[in-house]
Chain A
Amino acid sequence: MAGQREIRGNKMFEVGRMCIKTAGRDANKFCLIIDTLDDKFVMIDGLTRRRKCNIAHLEPLEKVIKIKKNASHDDVIKEFEKLKLVPKEKKKIMDKKEKTEKKEKKAEEKKEEEKTKRRNIFKRKEKKVAKKK
């Protein structure tokens, strides 16, 4: 078994190998291997958290990216952006305050519109009266 592990550690899980995590709350997310600590553990970073990880919790992919050992988080994310793997940011969820402010603004606009309409009607009536005279 020890021999198999060495081979796995050297070839399958080298620095720069793209992986998918299969366990924990970061499961089904892409990551890159930054460092090999042991024949069992590696350091990962990417769309997951930057952390130590067991080889058994990773699924290696075909891609290998040229990257320095212990590269920073920003460098790793840049590589992901090149491959277009970074998901788009979701729309901001509005707070209750923001929602109420929006509603109030809309209501004020409606009121002003109604006022202008009424004014216009009065003006027309005045004009008609003036013409008759």
Chain B
Amino acid sequence: MRPSKQKSRTFRRIFKKISGNKTTMHYKKRKPSKARCANCGAVLKGVLREIPTKMKNIPKTKKRPSRPFGGILCSKCTREKIKWLARGR
């Protein structure tokens, strides 16, 4: 009997070619969902989407934009937020 991880779709399936003109199935973890803006819910650009083991070896500056609220708010929402803060001063 196959192990349970091979029966369910929690792992993604990859076909690999092997010698003898044969193919086998490999099972890998799925990527997490895309990062979204906390205010409007738009998909964030410039934010990496990798499994945590790969994210460990990537520098912090490559994971999110370097502007304030980078990786949390989208560019439109940050602009509005900063304007709103500036007009309060």
The reply to whether the CB of B83 lies closer than 8 angstroms to some CB of chain A is yes
- Scoring A residues 10 to 24 as 1 if CB is less than 8 Å from chain B, else 0, what string do you get? 000000000010111
The reply to whether the CB of A61 lies closer than 8 angstroms to some CB of chain B is yes
- Count class of interface residues, chain A: under 10
Query: Secondary structure at chain B's binding surface: helix, strand, loop or mixed?
Result: helix
Separation of A22 and B79 alpha carbons in the complex (Å)? 5
* A55 nearest CB across to chain B (Å): 14
* A33 nearest CB across to chain B (Å): 15
The reply to whether the CB of A27 lies closer than 8 angstroms to some CB of chain B is yes
Q: A20-B82, A27-B68 are in contact. Are A61 and B89 (CB under 8 A)?
A: yes
Contact A28 B89 (CB under 8 A): no
Separation of A24 and B67 alpha carbons in the complex (Å)? 6
Separation of A27 and B76 alpha carbons in the complex (Å)? 12
The reply to whether the CB of A38 lies closer than 8 angstroms to some CB of chain B is no
Query: Secondary structure at chain A's binding surface: helix, strand, loop or mixed?
Result: loop
Contact B67 A61 (CB under 8 A): no
Separation of A25 and B75 alpha carbons in the complex (Å)? 11
Q: A27-B67, A27-B68, A28-B68 are in contact. Are A22 and B89 (CB under 8 A)?
A: no
Contacts of A28 in B (CB 8 A): 68, 82, 85
Contact A20 B67 (CB under 8 A): no
The reply to whether the CB of B86 lies closer than 8 angstroms to some CB of chain A is yes
Contact B82 A25 (CB under 8 A): no
Contact A61 B86 (CB under 8 A): yes
The reply to whether the CB of A59 lies closer than 8 angstroms to some CB of chain B is yes
Separation of A25 and B67 alpha carbons in the complex (Å)? 4
The reply to whether the CB of B10 lies closer than 8 angstroms to some CB of chain A is no
Within 8 A of B (CB), among A7-66: 20, 22-25, 27-28, 59, 61
Residues on A close to B: CB < 8 A? 20, 22-25, 27-28, 59, 61
Q: Can you list the 10 inter-chain pairs with the closest CB atoms, starting with the nearest?
A: A25-B66, A20-B86, A22-B79, A59-B86, A22-B82, A28-B68, A27-B67, A28-B82, A59-B83, A25-B67
